[in-house]
Structures are given as structure tokens and as C-alpha cells.
Amino acid sequence: MEVQQTEFRGSFPSVQQCPADDRPEFAFIGRSNVGKSSLINMLTGRTNLARTSKKPGKTQLLNYFLINQQWHLVDLPGYGYAKISKKKRQEWERMIQDYLVKRLQMQCAFVLIDAMIPPQKIDIDFLDWLGKMRIPFVIVYTKTDRLKADELTQNLNAIRTELSNYWEPLPQEFITSSEKGIGRAEILSFIEEVRLRAEEH
């Protein structure tokens, strides 16, 4: 699949206000500062579709982008250390969980994990919650170009080892670099397969 057309559909504060549209949706989420906006821009071939910032917590709503008039890419708020109040964080968590659990159009969540750092409890806990709620997801490792090959292998193996305490077999994964376009074709092909499968049912 090649991304030929993108259209911003809007930002929504709750799942109840999301577009009344049956087209398949693919959600992107990760810890704050994991490189989500850069990945979305890389996948869509746009430089500023999603706002990139060195300040975590810029995405605060459910942001909808219509791709090729066929499916929605949904940019979810990050979780983690964004400097927001406890009340606001709880609101975000409720909004994200409501979307992932209740939105029937959501076909798969792409959970971004920073390949440069050791396994983080907040990531493991989130993946565990997705599994318990039977929400389909895949893992996307980001920033892989910033490590030497042996360092990358070591880091990914450490994360996989931690995940193996919860998962057998391990979830499907994609290795990506927003800077170099690594993983773009694989993720778009996966989305196309899932989209076509969803439309058959």
C-alpha cells in the first residue's frame, strides 16, 4: 500500500464524539517522547501531519487522520512522564481505555517502545492490560537507527525476555526508524492486510 491521500478529520475528547464512520481504525500509542509523531509522519510520507515536539504530552485528544479514503489512523495521547496534573492524567487514561475497549472500528493498536532503553514497567503493564482486555496489538520498536547493531540486539533481547514472562508466543513486532524510513513498508502492508480482512466480514 502507498499513502496517496491524508486528511485530518479532527481531535476528539471522548470515544462518544469520534466520527460516525465504519472504516477500519489503527491506533498509535506509546510512552511520552517515544517518537510517535515522527513515526506517523514517516508512515504517511508527510513532514508535519502529526506535531513533533521535544516536550512530551503534546497529544491530548484522539486525533483522527483519514488515509486514502479507506482507513483512519488514530493518534492517541502518550502515557508516562508528561508534566500534567494527576487529574488530567486520569482523564487521559480513561479516554484511552474507553477508546481501545469500546471502539469497534479499532482493528489494531500499534504500541511504540523505545529501543534505546531497557524494558520499562509502564510499557509492560500497558501491554499486559491490552492482553487481558483482548485488544489486538503489535509492538513497534522506535529509534533503532541510533544504536549499533550489537547494542540494538542486546536491548531488544532484554525487552523480549521480559515480555516472555507474560506472552507465549511473543507479540508481533516491527523494527523501525523514522529517520531512515525503516519498517514503513512492513507496517503499511500489515495495515492493508488487516483492513482487507476487516472489510470482508
Reported as a single tens digit per residue, the pLDDT across 68-126 is 999 999 999 888 755 667 787 788 789 999 999 999 999 999 999 999 998 899 999 99
> For residue 1, is it within any domain?
no
pLDDT confidence of residue 201: 73
Domain that holds residue 183: 6-200
Q: What is the tally of structural domains in the chain?
A: 1
pLDDT confidence of residue 45: 93
What percent of the chain is helix, strand and coil (3-state, nearest 5)?
Answer: 40, 25, 40
Nearest to 29 by CA among 88, 97, 110: 110
- In this structure, how many other beta carbons lie within 10 angstroms of the beta carbon of residue 58? 17
How far is Cα 125 from Cα 26, in angstroms, rounded to an integer? 21
Q: Which residues contact 140 (CB under 8 A, 6 or more apart)?
A: 28, 30, 39, 110, 111, 112, 113, 173, 174, 176, 183, 187
How far is Cα 87 from Cα 18, in angstroms, rounded to an integer? 22
Residue 50 — pLDDT band, cuts 50, 70, 90?
confident
The DSSP letter of residue 85 is: -
pLDDT higher than threshold 50 for residue 34: yes
Reported as a single tens digit per residue, the pLDDT across 131-174 is 999 999 999 999 999 999 999 999 999 999 999 998 889 999 99
User: Grid coordinates standing for 107?
Assistant: 482493528
Q: Which residues contact 88 (CB under 8 A, 6 or more apart)?
A: none
User: Grid coordinates standing for 196?
Assistant: 482487507
CATH number of the domain where residue 20 is located: 3.40.50.300
Q: Which residues contact 113 (CB under 8 A, 6 or more apart)?
A: 30, 31, 34, 120, 123, 139, 140, 141, 142, 159
pLDDT confidence of residue 58: 53
Query: Model-level pTM greater than 0.85?
Result: yes
Mean pLDDT of 38-43: 95
